[in-house]
Every structure is written in C-alpha cells, then in structure tokens.
Structure 1
Amino acid sequence: MTATLRARTAAALTDAGFAAGWRAVRMLPEPAARGAFDRAGRWAAGRQGTGVRQLRANYRVVTGGALSEPELADLTTRGLRSYARYWQEAFRLPTLSSERIVTDTDVVGLEYVQKVHNEGRGLVMTLPHSGNWDAAAVWFIDFLGGPFMTVAERLKPESLYRRFLEYRESLGMRVVPLTGGPRPSSEVLRDWLADGGSTCLLVDRNLGSGGVPVTFFGRAATMPGGAALLAAQTGAALIPTVCAFTERGWRLTFAPEVPVDGPGRLKDRVGTAMQDVADAFARTIVEQPEDWHMLGRIWSDVPPDPPAEERA
C-alpha cells in the first residue's frame, strides 16, 4: 500500500468514526452518554499521552505552581473529564432544544453585550478553548435573534471538515474557512462586522506565524491579533468571553469591552487590546481551570510534563 493510499484510508476511517460516533451517541439516553464519556476522560488521563501531559504542564502555570503533584494529577483528570463532556455534548447538541440550552445557561456580565447590542454595533467575541463554545453559540444566536459568523480551520479529510461545517451551520452559525475559501476570511469577516454583524473567534492559541506578544498567566505567549484588528477596522466591540460548565448546564462570562480606538499606531493598539483579552481570560479561567481544555503548547518554555514514571 502506498503512503498516499494509506493516508487516504486513515482519513476515510477518521471520518467514518466521527460519523458513527455522532449516530451512536445521539441514540444513547443522556445519562448513559455522560457516564460513558466521563469514563473515557478518566481513561485518557491515565494513558498520559502527549496532549494530556501538556495539559498538566499548562495547569501548573495556571495555578502558579501552588498545587502538589497529587492535586495537579486530580486537576488534570478533571480537565480530561470536562473535555470529554464537551465532546459528548457536541455529538448530542443538535438533539437538544435551544430553549433548554438558553434556560440552563448562566450569564455573567450580560450588561456588557446588551449595551453594545442596543447601540446596533457589531460584536467581536474572543474566546479561549474552554467549556462548550457550541452551546454558547446557541445562546448567542438566541440573544442576537439571528446568526453570527465564525472561522473554521480546514480539517482533513475534506469530508470531515464538511461534517463539522454542516453541524455548526445546523446550530445557526455562518462559517467561513480559515484558508481555501473564495475570499480571505478576514475580508469576509470585515464586511460582515461593518454591516453590524457579530463574530466569535477562538484566540488563546496562535496557530499561524507571527501573532501578538502577550503575557498570559505571567509567561510570554502569542495570540492572533485578528480579532482586535477587525474591531478597530469596523467599530465593532471587542468582548472577551469565557465558557464553562455548571452542574446543570453552562456558564458564559463576558468581560467589559476592550478599547481598540484612540491615539497611537494601530499595531500598538492591537497589541494592547490583545493583552487586555489575555488578562480577562486569565481572571476567569483560574476560577475553574479544569474547563480550559488546552492540550496544545501555549508557552514556548512549557513543554509537556514527562511521564509519571520519569517524574517519580
């Protein structure tokens, strides 16, 4: 079998696995699905894969190194259980009514987005990878009374990307590809915001080259500056937003609008704004760190923890 054929076969199996998972989980009673995914999260924590060990290292930074090794292990297990809950809900979300999601979402700082919405301005919501941002999307669409726009990274295979695209569009989002679209995603978003539209963008990890230097939990990191740039170019409000879980449902925490206008160079204003976003994220994430599902590397000087047997 050639390398190309092996890659295509693996991609097809990945897509088929997601499709089967979507069907199977939706057929399960909700308590059974929750229990199964919770066990999967515990199992993943015990496996100590690279992503799990990176999550552990990231949690050490978030908690300021104040946890003992057993406490850090417990937090990491809770983080994997929270991440498993996200996937369980992602598979089942289209079967849940929007009324239930809206009713079971607690909102902190609603006045910040309500003020901007009443003014008829666009909203640029910046989010970290925390809680369930798909459930938050359902709440946000209900609040807006219409769709918002977001950007999706192109997954491989293309059929898997299309599956996630259709899923998010079924929730009411407008999705543009990060790359490979008929127009650059930044142009599409700029036009949408200039017309008073709203967008939600995940910004706690910089996937491209460059990025804006920030201090995040006391360490140097980079975040994409596109959200702040879009707000500055269109007059939309830049609102940091953090999603988390509650026992009953979900919680959304909105921070006050981050200013992007005023004197000085645009580049400097964007950098200052993204630092404010990073600070807002940190203030909320630290309250319930297990809901921050960052299994990737954020800080260049924070690699994955070694396996447990090497830490002993």
Structure 2
Amino acid sequence: MDPKARVLDLGYAAGWRLVRALPRRWALGLFGIAADRAARGGGPVQLRRNLARVLSIAPAQVPDELVRASLRSYARYWCEAFRLPSMDPVWLTERVESSATGLEHIHEAAERGRGAVLALPHSGNWDVAGVWLVRRVGAPTVVAERLEPESLFRRFVRFREHLGFEIIPLTGGTTPPFEQLVARLRQGRMVGLLGERDLTGAGVPVTFFGEPARMPAGPARLAIETGAPLLPVHCWFTPDGWGFQVGEPIDTARGVQHTTQALADRFAADIAAHPADWHMLQPLWTADFTGDRIARRHTHRKPSP
C-alpha cells in the first residue's frame, strides 16, 4: 500500500476508536474546533461558490458565518459517523420518529411490496435515517462510492454493514449496480441513493438553482424500470438531534429527464431551507468543471460524505 494511503487509512481507524471513547460533548467540541480552523480566511472556495448559488448572490457576499456553520455541520456528520456504531439504535429510531415527517410514504411503499427509491442530497446525517429504516422497515440497499485506498473503502463498507445496510460498490463489482438495485426493488426492498452529485460526467442535464448542472439518472431510471415510488428525502441537523422529511412520490410518467429535473427542484427547495447542512464541498455545476476536473470524475475518490 502507498505510504500516504496507509497513513490515511490508519488515521481514520484511530479516529473511529478515539472519538467513540470520548464523551459526546468533547468529541463534538474537537470537531467544531477543526471546522472553525477550516473556515479561517473565508473557508473552502468551492463551498463558498456552491452556497452562493443557493443564496443567489456572489461568492464574496456569502456570510462568513454561514460558511463556518456549514463546516461545523460537515464536521458534526463525521463525528457522528465515527460514534454511530456505539450509539443505541432503539434510541436513535425513537428520535427519528419524533422529528420526521412523511414516514407514511415509506410505510405505504413497504406495505405494497414494491420497495421504494429514496433519493437524498448530501445533507445532514443520512446514516441515522438508515438506522431507522433497518429497525422499522428492513435493511436498505445503498451504493458506495469506491474510495482510495481500498482498505479505507472496506472500512466504510464494514461500518455501514454493521449498521444493517446492504452495500453495493459503485464500481468494481461482479454485476452492474443498476441490475442489482432493480432486483432489490422487485423484492420489495428499499434503495437509498445520494442523488444530486454526478460522478460520471454523463448524468442528466438539469437546471439547479438557476444554473446548468448534471445529476445521476439512477433514481429516475430505477423508479421507471420497476414501478417503485421515487421518494425525495431530506436530512438536516437540529441543535439536539436531527430533522428528516420524506416527500410525496415524484411523478415519473414523463421520462428520465423530466423526473430528474423534478427531483432537482425538490432538492433545491429542501437545501434552500437548510443551507448550512448541505455538505457539498465539490464542484457540482457545469460552469465549475474544466476538462481536467471532468476527467478526474472517472478516477477513484477520497472520502466524502
């Protein structure tokens, strides 16, 4: 293994052990300090650009406090990810049910035996929502982006398998992910997909916050292929917990492009309501990609939420 990759892997392993051993308040405090340091000097340029689209202002006009809050939210996600395997799943399930709206859409899909495609943006803590699914509906099937190094990818797979998820790798599997996901939906299973970031460069053209972007075709294609409802899901943080919202099924009758645009519109409304909890530090809009960045979409990735 490359020495830098090994250091990265060992760093995550040490973090998992250390953060679980610390009291929650101390762990969140340490991650908050790291976020505040990252926010100095205006914070990550791409995060500021992305938030500017959400607010319909120039990047320089994005409030520094919003950038700081976004980085703190991102740090909280990672802190909770490290601690989640040791948290009480019964308590987590009850907390989700006390704050979530629209859970009846998931229950209805499960009762009809058709499964559902749950499409989410990179917001809040979707792993906690997955714990609720495991406890109340059944193990969700999710697609995992392959990370570098391979040992770190396997570590994240084990983490989510420990939570009760079924993991399908985005690349490198023996069967294409789409075929496996179709099979799971036809078995009445729930499929969860992070749906606003296109990793291939060949996604569906959409207008997102008034600008051209591309989004994955997978959520729409799966719903159209199987007849399973396409449910937009949004997650965000509250001061002492989490907020979750499951929207009404998106109409898929007009094809992949129209369905993906409708999903993008739903994502935009939800992100605008909780901009600080949208963890998008990577380029997403067409204008932010150059030829070399597009080429790098096809390479293995380092960790992102």
Q: Same fold (TM over 0.5)?
A: yes
**Residue in 2 that maps onto 1:32:** 26
Secondary structure of 2:197's partner?
A: coil
The residue identity in structure 2 corresponding to 1:245 is F
The residue identity in structure 1 corresponding to 2:70 is G
Q: CA deviation at 1:301?
A: 2.2
Secondary structure of 2:69's partner?
A: helix
Q: Distance in 2 between matches of 1:232 and 1:84?
A: 36
**Residue in 2 that maps onto 1:231:** 223
Picking from 247, 260, 266, the partner of 2:252 is 260
Q: How does 1:138-153 map to 2 (within 5 A)?
A: 138-144=131-137, 146-153=138-145
Question: In the alignment, does 2:191 pair up with 1:191?
Answer: no
**Residue in 1 that maps onto 2:266:** 280
The size of the alignment, in residue pairs, is: 288
Q: What do residues 81-100 of structure 1 show as CA deviations (whole Å, max 9, x unaligned)?
A: 00000000000000111122
Q: Distance in 2 between matches of 1:299 and 1:254?
A: 25
The residue identity in structure 1 corresponding to 2:193 is L
**Residue in 2 that maps onto 1:18:** 12
The residue identity in structure 2 corresponding to 1:300 is T
Q: Distance in 2 between matches of 1:127 and 1:76?
A: 22
Q: Rg: which structure is higher?
A: 1
The residue identity in structure 1 corresponding to 2:6 is A
**Residue in 2 that maps onto 1:128:** 121
**Residue in 2 that maps onto 1:290:** 276
**Residue in 2 that maps onto 1:80:** 71
Question: In the alignment, does 2:91 pair up with 1:100?
Answer: yes
Q: What do residues 226-275 of structure 1 show as CA deviations (whole Å, max 9, x unaligned)?
A: 111111111111011111011121111111101223xxxxxx61111111
**Residue in 1 that maps onto 2:36:** 42
Q: TM-score, normalised by structure 1?
A: 0.88
Q: CA deviation at 1:154?
A: 1.2
**Residue in 1 that maps onto 2:297:** none
Q: Distance in 1 between matches of 2:67 and 2:288?
A: 16
Q: CA deviation at 1:117?
A: 2.3
Secondary structure of 1:244's partner?
A: strand
Secondary structure of 2:287's partner?
A: coil
Q: Contact 1:217–1:282 at 8 Å: present in 2 too? A: yes
Q: TM-score, normalised by structure 2?
A: 0.90
Q: Distance in 1 between matches of 2:125 and 2:195?
A: 15
Q: CA deviation at 1:116?
A: 1.9
The residue identity in structure 2 corresponding to 1:13 is V
Aligned residues: CA RMSD: 1.8
The residue identity in structure 1 corresponding to 2:270 is T
The residue identity in structure 2 corresponding to 1:225 is A
Picking from 31, 43, 47, the partner of 1:55 is 47
Question: In the alignment, does 2:203 pair up with 1:217?
Answer: no
Q: Contact 1:104–1:248 at 8 Å: present in 2 too? A: no
**Percent identity of the aligned residues?**
45
Secondary structure of 1:290's partner?
A: helix
Q: Distance in 2 between matches of 1:289 and 1:255?
A: 18
Q: Distance in 2 between matches of 1:83 and 1:217?
A: 21
Q: CA deviation at 1:209?
A: 2.7
Runs of at least 4 residues off by over 6 Å = none
Q: Contact 1:58–1:302 at 8 Å: present in 2 too? A: no
Q: Distance in 2 between matches of 1:119 and 1:256?
A: 16
Moved more, 169-178 or 244-253: 244-253
Q: CA deviation at 1:48?
A: 5.2
Q: CA deviation at 1:67?
A: 9.1
Q: Contact 1:228–1:274 at 8 Å: present in 2 too? A: yes
